[in-house]
Amino acid sequence: MLKSYNNLIFLIISFLFLLKLSNADDDFPFQFLNDQSNQVIFFTQSGFQGERFVYDTNMGYVELPNEFHNNVGSYISGTTVCFIKWDPFEQHQIYSHRVNGNYSSENNFGSRIDGVYNGLCKDKIW
């Protein structure tokens, strides 16, 4: 009897954990200017500080403005996008609801980024 009770408790806890995990995007802590499902906010400094540029997926491919070119310190992503460096060609896949407060120093790609486009990274873009 005790073993079946423990199994039932385990199942309930597992179910609640999976339910919470499946609703994780509902608790995304950052608010966007418009629809949080289609924007990425870039910052020139780590810790979401400095100048701010908002990319919207309706913009298609965007070459980052001069102050962000090779100078993204942090970002907040509400959608799946691809960060790109043209020379040498390099891409970084960023998925929906990802946040990085120190992007330039963690993998150094923030100091090399040229542009961004909506969706998954591809071997051939055009």
Alpha helices in the chain (DSSP H): 2-22, 103-106
How far apart are the C-alpha atoms of 97 and 109, rounded to whole Å?
19
Query: Looking at the domain 31-118, which fold is it?
Result: Gamma-B Crystallin; domain 1 (2.60.20)
Using CB atoms within 10 A of its CB, is residue 52 exposed (0-12), middle (13-18) or buried (19+)?
middle
More confident residue, 9 or 98: 98
Q: Considering just the CA atoms, what is the radius of gyration of the chain in Å?
A: 19
In angstroms, what CA-CA distances link 73 with 5, 34, 88?
51, 22, 20
Q: pLDDT tens digits for 74-118?
A: 999 999 999 999 999 999 999 988 889 998 876 678 889 999 999
Q: What is the pTM of this model?
A: 0.71
Asked which of 29-43, 48-62, 103-117 is least confident by mean pLDDT, the reply is: 29-43
Cis peptide before 65 (omega within 30 of 0): no
Question: Is residue 66 helix, strand or coil?
Answer: coil
User: What pLDDT, on the 0 to 100 scale, is given for residue 120?
Assistant: 94
Residue tagged 């199994």 (tokens): 7
The confidence score (pLDDT) of residue 25 equals 47
State residue 105's pLDDT score.
79
Domain residue ranges in the chain: 31-118
